[in-house]
Amino acid sequence: MNLLMCPVCRKQLELTDKTWRCENNHSYDVAKQGYVNLHVVQHKHSKNPGDTPESVQARRAFLSAGHYAPLQQAVVEKIKALHIEHLLDIGCGEGYYTDAMQSEVMQCIGVDIAKNAVQVAAKLNKEVTWVVGTGATLPVMDQSIDLCSSLFSPIPKEEILRVLKPKAYLMVVTPAPQHLYAMREALFEEVQAHDPHKFVHQLEDAFELLEEHVIAAPMLLSQQELKHLIAMTPYAYKAKAERRNDLEAKERYALNAQFQLFIFQKK
């Protein structure tokens, strides 16, 4: 079942010989890495939007070492329990979570605005439909998705409502209040606890909150792992160089990751 939508005319795309094409003959070739670019130039606000190549490589190295495996496992268990057929992962990045999600669903689409991230993701799992695209125009058909997931990514509410089937689900993962608190204390003079419930207030008119869970992942990081973690977060460019250098000089670093997982249902 083809769920992809042409970003120009919004008609359904069909795949023939490694080219996605709509009835108006707009066409999009599958790249040799195995993804399709549906982020058309008229929707772009910068030449290379999304994460930098350095951030993507740091994230791949850090996540593949298993530090956030408790979250990956929790996400997979929730998807399994909901009996999902068609899943759209918004902001899939380099694919660590999307790859694991795919085994529990019939069809899995991973979309991200960063082409360099999707290029890396596409090498992970050929069963996922990997797409370069924007949340402002999610490249899937109306009411075609059973679950949208957004892990540490934007939540384009109106577009999510458009693509979800009636009574379908939205999974949001965001930092819990104490997420990486010690690291943030080391990098910044003032640190505020994260407020995960701001998303609940934004969504409450259109979604019912079914579940919420806090998932903890205590870590003991090597110096290189700590550098990868800093490089994959916005803290890499927000922190003062002096504070970042002091932290990165540590050979061993104990740290707690803490995630808030929400399951919503479309009203």
- Using one digit for the tens of pLDDT, what is the confidence trace for 151-166? 999 999 999 999 999 9
- Cβ neighbours of residue 242 closer than 8 Å, sequence gap 6 or more: none
Listed in sequence order, the DSSP H helices in the chain are 53-64, 69-82, 96-102, 115-121, 157-163, 181-187, 198-203, 223-231, 235-238, 241-248
Question: Does 108 show up as a binding residue in the annotation?
Answer: no
Question: Does 94 show up as a binding residue in the annotation?
Answer: yes
Question: Does 28 show up as a binding residue in the annotation?
Answer: no
Q: Among 63-72, 129-138, 203-212, 234-243, whose mean pLDDT is lowest?
A: 234-243
CB 87 within 8 A of CB 105: yes
Question: Does 6 show up as a binding residue in the annotation?
Answer: yes
Mean of pLDDT values over 44-67 = 83
- Confidence at residue 43, expressed as pLDDT on a 0 to 100 scale: 53
Question: Does 179 show up as a binding residue in the annotation?
Answer: yes
Question: Domains of the chain: which residue ranges?
Answer: 35-266
Q: In the CATH scheme, what is the homologous superfamily, with its name and number, of domain 35-266?
A: Vaccinia Virus protein VP39 (3.40.50.150)
The per-residue pLDDT for range 73-122, each reduced to its tens digit, is: 999 999 999 999 999 999 999 999 999 999 999 999 999 999 999 999 99
